[in-house]
Amino acid sequence: MQRQPLPKQVDARKLCITNAEINATATVQQLGRFAEGLASSEGEVLAELKLFRGEQGFYRIDGHALAKVEVTCERCLTAMPIEVVSEFALAIVWTEEQAKALPKYLDAVILGEELLDLEELLQDELIISTPFVNYHDIADCKATGPTEYPAPEGAGSEEKSESPFSVLGSIKPRD
Ligand SMILES: [Zn+2]
């Protein structure tokens, strides 16, 4: 299917009335807040959004996003590729009160007369769907390579506690 660059801002309620479908691509670099939690800002995001009027007249956005990105392995602190998959069912509402009254299977997007920022929406959904900690498969992890060398002292205890370098690892500049 033909994909377009992600439109930045859309008149969401109008698109719901016309049953719009958006098949778009975005770069991870475009999605700054999402990129912050990753090992690099390399990568691409594919997004499919369906906008329509649903039951009870709700203005709905159903979506699916797939991001191929790099995160930091918490064991060896090098980058590893993962796919972040996000599925969402949203309803556009005017107020906080309407948001609270939505059925459980719908998440609210509170939107006034302004345009909807699709980059913001997409990165919110991707951030929620990104695993908080990530590890290579044992066979691929640099920290658990061939064991011809004796394990360094204290290596065992390091496994159990949260690595003190995990934060450092995620902000380590990449070249
Ligand atoms: Zn690793």
Query: How remote is the CA of residue 103 from the centroid of ligand 1, in Å?
Result: 41
Average pLDDT across each block of 10 residues of the chain; the chain has 175 residues. List them in order: 87 97 96 95 96 95 97 95 97 97 96 96 96 92 62 49 49 52
Q: What is the pLDDT of residue 158?
A: 43
Distance 9 CA to ligand 1 centre (A): 38
| Domain positions in the chain | 4-171
- Say how many Å lie between the CA of residue 172 and the centre of ligand 1: 15
Dist. CA 141 → ligand 1 center (Å): 4
Q: What is the CA radius of gyration of the chain?
A: 20
Q: What is the pLDDT of residue 148?
A: 44
pLDDT at 160: 45
Using CA atoms, how far residue 66 sits from 44, 63, 80, 166, in Å, is: 8, 10, 16, 25
DSSP letters of 64-79?
EEEEEEEEEBTTT-SE
